[in-house]
């Protein structure tokens, strides 16, 4: 199955709200956040797709657009793969959990919750994974202040395009 055919299967199943992109021989399928877990299950259980291998899931701070959640799935049978993606708004970063579809997503969702503040609705154990209980904030958000920048002047440019020295 070609990446274009894979993308069209998701559009046919979840409607015109799905957007697709083909790059580097792979399909990226963006679904509305309320369909994210259903799309993961569809990818896994649909004959012909058979995207049964969960590789990873990650959060992405997309600035004003919100928080992206990206999952890489692979079919060992057909040797094709897809990036399944959704976006949650900054003010309500809630996405349905896919940990009941792919057990491996459990750890990745906990990490995205801890680092970005993305809540995975229905997750069985959304507790801190990497940071201490006393730590406050979400360190991978773009607005998060790095402690090292608050303690002493940063030696280089802080933002892209800034020139000169601090």
pLDDT at 166: 47
Taken in order 7, 11, 13, 18, is the CA torsion positive or negative? Answer: positive
pLDDT digits 0-9 by tens, 24-46: 999 999 999 999 999 999 999 99
Q: Which CATH superfamily is domain 3-151 in?
A: NADH:ubiquinone oxidoreductase Nqo5 subunit (3.30.460.80)
Digit-coded pLDDT (tens) for 73-110:
999 999 999 999 999 999 999 999 999 999 999 999 99
Sequence spans of domains, the chain: 3-151
Can you tell me the distance from the alpha carbon of 123 to that of 110, in angstroms, rounded to the nearest whole number?
Answer: 9
> pLDDT digits over 97-152, tens only?
999 999 999 999 999 999 999 999 999 999 998 999 898 889 999 888 766 555 66
Residue 164 has pLDDT above 70, yes or no: no
d(CA 95, CA 20) in angstroms, rounded, equals 19
């Amino acid at each position: 199955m070609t990446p274009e055919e894979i993308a069209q299967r998701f559009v046919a199943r979840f409607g015109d709200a799905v957007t697709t992109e083909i790059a580097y021989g792979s399909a990226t399928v963006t679904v509305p956040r309320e369909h994210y877990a259903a799309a993961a299950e569809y990818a896994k259980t649909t004959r012909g797709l058979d995207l049964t291998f969960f590789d990873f899931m990650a959060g992405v701070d997309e600035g004003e657009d919100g928080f992206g959640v990206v999952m890489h799935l692979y079919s060992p049978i057909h040797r094709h793969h897809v990036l399944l993606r959704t976006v949650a708004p900054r003010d309500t970063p809630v996405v349905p959990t896919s940990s009941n579809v792919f057990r491996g997503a459990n750890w990745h969702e906990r990490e995205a919750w801890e680092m970005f503040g993305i809540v995975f609705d229905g997750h069985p154990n959304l507790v801190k994974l990497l940071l201490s209980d006393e730590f406050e904030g979400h360190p991978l958000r773009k607005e998060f202040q790095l402690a090292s920048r608050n303690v002493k002047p940063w030696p280089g440019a802080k933002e892209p395009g800034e020139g000169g020295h601090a």
